[in-house]
């Protein structure tokens, strides 16, 4: 009886005469809903009898719309058509045929269910990641996917707003047992796809929200549900990062990077000759919905790609592709008992693609008289997999690397770590913490094959 009792809560702005009424109900209790409707009838009648209006300061909601006089609704519809002829603002709201008769308001009992759902699923962790956002927008200038002049408005602030709406949509359908709409997964894919995982939004954020981490969680949810959107190019790139076979890397490097860039540049030259690139390179107009495939193709080739990749990787150049050996590079004339030992993990970018960066790093260390310990050929750190939502694959790669590094000779294990990617998990796990790993050791000359 107590849980079915109705209370009418009143709060108001006495100075300007606005009174708000709230009637909490349990939507699962049909009798309670009927009684609440009768109470609303009485409240509206009292307001009109006292020469008041029912619109109030917050406009018209689902409950009050049926009490408005037809001429007032008609005046609203005429004004809405005048200021919003395309119907972009709250499409159909309060207009004939809007379908508001089927609208549903969750009850307090469903709020309890919502808490249980959040606690039992990763939606709760996703909600915790974004719940403290202040909507200040300080992240916007740092975000690579917030470029208003290019009609690209995926700032972390906007993506947090969208993520909150997606969570609400999931919870609403879980509560009402309507089944999860595929559209929600499409929207989550859209938000998750528009992030480069650069983590630059963390520094300006006053409440320390890193939308890169939020994006990784969203992608992980999508992968676990089997709803992660993928493309042939994305699959090919991940295959290139996963393989450790030197021959496969050379073939994919030639096909994906060298021939791929050449193909795009050839298509750009042809499109430019046909005058197809002028419009895409102008200021883009506003757009929404699914993009036109032809328009996407034209945008893809609207600019040339000038990336000069080295012809060979530095491992291929120095003959260091043997996965059964741990190469140590040093200048015998400069190495003594006090020389530094540096463990250099090149990473995919400076090992598989822009190998001149890795080669320059090795040359710098060589000239400084350091002993540079390299891991076996073409290891991946696992971070690209985790960033793509492939948590299990990324964890497996990281674990295999940790096991491998623990089996390196003791002198190699105590070398200073150098060249790891930002926030790399090995900095936390190889010897327990980054502080323990980054040890500048004074080592004797290492008895291993050296490559000048």
Nearest-angstrom CA–CA distance, 330 and 350: 20
Do residue 191 and residue 277 come from a single domain? no
pTM, to two decimals: 0.66
Pair 411, 341: CB distance under 8 Å: yes
258, two tokens? 């060298």
Do residue 150 and residue 174 come from a single domain? yes
Domain boundary among 19, 53, 85: 85
The answer to whether residue 164 is domain-embedded is yes
The answer to whether residue 443 is domain-embedded is no
Do residue 129 and residue 16 come from a single domain? no
Do residue 196 and residue 128 come from a single domain? yes
Q: Which secondary structure element, helix H or strand E, spans residue 296, and what is its range? A: helix 293-300
Do residue 10 and residue 115 come from a single domain? no
Nearest-angstrom CA–CA distance, 115 and 134: 22
Do residue 419 and residue 351 come from a single domain? yes
The answer to whether residue 24 is domain-embedded is yes
Q: Residue 16 burial (CB < 10 Å; 0-12/13-18/19+)?
A: exposed
Nearest-angstrom CA–CA distance, 121 and 224: 12
Nearest-angstrom CA–CA distance, 380 and 400: 10
Pair 281, 260: CB distance under 8 Å: no
Q: What is the CATH number of the domain that holds 204?
A: 1.10.1060
pLDDT at 211: 95
Pair 380, 243: CB distance under 8 Å: no
- The residue range of the domain holding 427 is 314-437
The answer to whether residue 45 is domain-embedded is yes
Cα angle at 40 between 34 and 43, to 5 degrees? 150
User: Is the model's pLDDT at 288 over the cut of 50?
Assistant: yes
Nearest-angstrom CA–CA distance, 97 and 94: 9
Picking from 219, 232, 156, 230, the residue whose alpha carbon sits closest to that of residue 192 is 219
The answer to whether residue 91 is domain-embedded is no
- What average pLDDT does the segment 221-227 reach? 90
Q: What is the pLDDT of residues 68-126, one digit of tens each?
A: 888 888 888 899 899 999 888 877 777 777 666 666 555 545 555 666 666 667 888 88
Q: What is the pLDDT of residues 187-199, one digit of tens each?
A: 999 999 999 999 9
Domain boundary among 200, 225, 250: 225
Do residue 180 and residue 276 come from a single domain? no
- What average pLDDT does the segment 162-168 reach? 89
Radius of gyration of the chain, Cα coordinates, nearest whole angstrom: 30
196: region left, alpha or beta (phi > 0 left; psi from -120 to 50 alpha)? alpha
- What average pLDDT does the segment 52-77 reach? 78
Do residue 190 and residue 116 come from a single domain? yes
Picking from 400, 333, 318, 388, the residue whose alpha carbon sits closest to that of residue 366 is 333
Do residue 13 and residue 70 come from a single domain? yes
Q: Which secondary structure element, helix H or strand E, spans residue 125, and what is its range? A: helix 122-130
Domain count for the chain: 4
DSSP structure class, residue 12: E
Selection from 205-214, 254-263, 394-403 with the highest mean pLDDT: 205-214
Do residue 379 and residue 431 come from a single domain? yes
Nearest-angstrom CA–CA distance, 370 and 30: 78
Q: Residue 83 burial (CB < 10 Å; 0-12/13-18/19+)?
A: exposed
Domain boundary among 300, 328, 354: 300
The answer to whether residue 305 is domain-embedded is no
Helix, coil or strand: residue 448: coil
Poorest-confidence range of 72-81, 302-311, 368-377?
302-311
Nearest-angstrom CA–CA distance, 21 and 40: 9
pLDDT at 436: 25
Do residue 50 and residue 24 come from a single domain? yes
408, two tokens? 């390196």
pLDDT at 416: 42
The answer to whether residue 307 is domain-embedded is no
Nearest-angstrom CA–CA distance, 168 and 150: 30
Do residue 264 and residue 358 come from a single domain? no
pLDDT at 434: 27
The answer to whether residue 203 is domain-embedded is yes
Selection from 112-121, 252-261, 294-303 with the highest mean pLDDT: 252-261
Helix, coil or strand: residue 303: coil
Pairing of strands 341-344, 416-418: parallel
């Amino acid at each position: 009886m107590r849980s079915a009792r109705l209370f009418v809560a009143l709060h108001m702005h006495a100075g300007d005469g606005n009174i708000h009424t709230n009637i909490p109900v349990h939507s699962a209790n049909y009798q309670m809903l009927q009684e609440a409707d009768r109470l609303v009838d009485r409240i509206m009648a009292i307001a009109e009898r006292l020469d008041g209006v029912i619109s109030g300061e917050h406009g018209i909601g689902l409950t009050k719309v049926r009490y408005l006089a037809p001429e007032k609704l008609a005046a609203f519809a005429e004004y809405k058509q005048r200021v919003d002829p395309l119907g972009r603002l709250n499409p159909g709201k309060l207009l004939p045929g809007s379908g508001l008769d089927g609208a549903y308001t969750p009850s307090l009992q469903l709020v309890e269910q919502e808490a249980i759902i959040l606690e039992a699923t990763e939606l709760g962790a996703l909600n915790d990641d974004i719940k403290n956002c202040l909507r200040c927008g300080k992240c916007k200038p740092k975000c690579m996917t917030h470029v208003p002049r290019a009609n690209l408005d995926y700032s972390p602030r906007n993506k947090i707003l969208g993520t909150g709406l997606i969570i609400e949509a999931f919870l609403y359908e879980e509560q009402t047992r309507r089944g999860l709409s595929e559209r929600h997964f499409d929207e989550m894919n859209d938000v998750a796809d528009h992030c480069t995982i650069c983590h630059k939004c963390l520094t300006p954020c006053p409440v320390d929200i890193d939308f890169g981490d939020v994006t990784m969680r969203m992608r992980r949810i999508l992968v676990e549900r089997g709803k992660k959107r993928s493309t042939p190019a994305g699959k090919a790139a991940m295959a290139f990062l996963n393989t450790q076979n030197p021959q496969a890397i050379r073939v994919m490097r030639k096909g994906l990077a060298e021939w791929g860039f050449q193909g795009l540049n050839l298509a750009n030259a042809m499109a430019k000759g046909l005058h197809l690139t002028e419009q895409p390179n102008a200021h883009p107009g506003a757009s929404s919905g699914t993009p036109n495939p032809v328009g996407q193709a034209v945008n893809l080739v609207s600019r040339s790609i000038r990336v000069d990749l080295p012809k060979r990787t530095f491992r291929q150049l120095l003959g260091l592709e043997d996965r059964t050996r741990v190469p140590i590079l040093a200048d015998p004339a400069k190495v003594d008992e006090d020389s530094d030992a540096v463990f250099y993990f090149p990473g995919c970018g400076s090992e598989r693609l822009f190998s001149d960066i890795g080669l320059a790093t090795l040359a710098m260390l060589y000239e400084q008289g350091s002993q540079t310990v390299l891991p076996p050929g073409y290891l991946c750190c696992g971070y690209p997999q985790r960033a793509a939502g492939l948590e299990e694959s990324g964890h497996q790669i990281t674990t295999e690397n940790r096991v491998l590094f623990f089996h390196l000779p003791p002198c190699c294990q105590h070398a200073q770590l150098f060249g790891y990617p930002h926030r790399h998990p090995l900095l936390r796990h190889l010897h327990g913490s980054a502080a323990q790993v980054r040890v500048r050791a004074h080592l004797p000359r290492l008895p291993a094959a050296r490559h000048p």
